[in-house]
A and B are shown apart, each in its own frame.
Chain A
């Protein structure tokens, strides 16, 4: 526990110092709140708007984690399909790449037009942004099997399913987790981008809409408050996925078992 505190100590102190510097700068230079609000003002705004911001935060969290879960499922399933059917991979790989490189900023408005439910549309946008790293990493991982182990499995007459489940999937795990860590952040970005670009409003709204709304109504402290929550979400995702990777790979993989910081 003390080690945990010690490890978190330096980053926390740095953040605190930066926050203090920000507060002092705003006060000393008398920067108006509608240009750059002080952290104290942002905290106050967070407190005052807690219920409505919390509701929007919950919506953004649901979209982000929903998209991440779907990206996992989709990425892994498609990767497994590609692993079992190389012809399928050759045929569909260009589709995956096209989906990846098309800017979500451009297609989000279109998706919002054609998909009836706003939530479904946002999920789809976030999914498109998030699934590719999982797919491509898992595909590589499924191929990165130790050659001797592969021979061993062949020697013992393993079926394709046994090979996939007992050899290729575990071999792919570190690669998958690396992709997952990337996709975690991307699903948040995708969810926020989709909402910002398409400007969804009304009942089904997350933090991005609140930022837009605050911007249009010149309520800059509220903009920053919503932004703080978004940043917190990103940090949360990062921490969670790193903990997951450490737990899953800890005992045996070089990336996690080497004496870490």
Chain B
């Protein structure tokens, strides 16, 4: 066998290794299990194999990464629900959703057990509802309009469990795959968890947003990032996530490995990532119908006016629904 093809291959590989696209991806919180797939793709080299040199820029309690995307300071942005995208389109901000990593929004309300909050309808009568700024201006408005919650109960949530733990009658927001674990660790009780998604808040979550300009001029880059991220999630959920966890613990030392693993278990049992459309079409799947349905619900809730948002500009389906990661999942023997 001539050494030429081997040599050419080596050259190509070297060239490919050098032609890595530098990409910054900003998340919406400190590193946690709900970001696991992205950290996985960095830690196990999936991004690198797709020609991407990805830097993850975490968010945090007082950090708002969203303006960075239209300003060109980051390349991709993680957002928590479609409401942000509706707002962007309404205000003419040139960004678009390219993938939806979570089929279910883990946004939830948690309460003390044995206080009558086992029934979702009882939550609206809670004397104190601890909601953070981001939620106050988005899904809380939906809770008020559709489920009868009142502003009188609203108190600002500053990501401190203290007030909730101290007041048995209080309820607060949280991610169904995160806060209950912390509450159990600190408060030594299992809280009641009500997923908003189970009561009509049907948005996708952990969306990947990009500038429309990037989608138009560098679709290949976007496709590679989406594909690698999807593979990252499959590997994270069903494969060996040690390296990813270590990376996340470095970014957020306040977490523990046990908490991360508990969170992953919850993500799987609640079907956050890999249910519905994603089960058949792969992680990150989106459908126009579901976006339209969610918008219609928000219109009914009074958050938007009918026709105010051009839905075709909210998301593009060109990068997902291709079954990426399905065979990997099968190979990992996923359940």
CB within 8 Å for A109 and B156 given contacts A35-B71, A213-B137: yes
Interface residue stretch chosen among A168-176, A185-193, A215-223, A251-259:
A215-223
Check: B261 CB closer than 8 A to any chain A CB. no
CB < 8 Å neighbour of A112 from B64, B131, B156: B156
Chain B residues closer than 8 Å to A203, beta-carbon distance: 151-152
User: With A202-B151, A217-B137, A218-B93 as given contacts, are A34 and B70 in contact (CB-CB < 8 Å)?
Assistant: yes
- Interface residues in B, total, Cβ within 8 A: 29
How many residues of A sit at the interface, in one of the four size bands?
A: 20 to 34
Q: Is the CB of A33 within 8 A of B92?
A: yes
Q: Is B50 part of the binding interface, using a Cβ–Cβ cutoff of 8 Å?
A: no
Q: Mark B60-91, 1 if CB is under 8 A from A, else 0.
A: 00001011001100000000000010011001
Which residues on the B side are within 8 Å of A33 (C-beta)? 91-92
Report yes or no: B151 in contact with A109, Cβ–Cβ below 8 A. no
Tell me the minimal C-beta distance from A252 to chain B in angstroms: 49
Q: How far is the CA of A212 from the CA of B93 in the complex (A)?
A: 18
The answer to whether A201 and B154 touch across the interface, beta carbons within 8 angstroms, is yes
The interface bits of chain B over 222-244 (1 if a CB of A lies within 8 angstroms of the residue's CB, else 0) are 00000000000000000000000
Interface string of A202-244 (1 = CB under 8 A from B): 1100000000110111111000000000000000000000000
Most interface-central of B70, B154, B155, B160 (chain A CB within 10 A): B155
B72 vs chain A, min Cβ distance (A): 10
Give chain B residues whose Cβ lies under 8 Å from the Cβ of A113. Answer: 155, 162-163
Of chain A, the residue at the smallest CB distance from B151 is A202
Give the nearest-CB partner of B133 in chain A. A199
CB closest chain-B residue, reference A222: B91
Contacts of A103 in B (CB 8 A): none
> B133 to A212, Cβ gap below 8 A?
yes
Q: Assuming the A-B contacts A34-B91, A34-B93, A202-B152, are A216 and B158 also in contact, with contact meaning beta carbons closer than 8 angstroms in the complex?
A: no
Chain B interface (Cβ < 8 Å from any Cβ of A): 64, 66-67, 70-71, 84, 87-88, 91-94, 131-134, 136-138, 140, 151-152, 154-156, 158, 160, 162-163
11 A-B pairs besides A33-B92, A218-B91, A219-B87 with CB distance below 8 A are: A32-B70, A32-B92, A34-B93, A113-B162, A118-B155, A201-B131, A202-B152, A202-B154, A212-B137, A217-B137, A218-B84
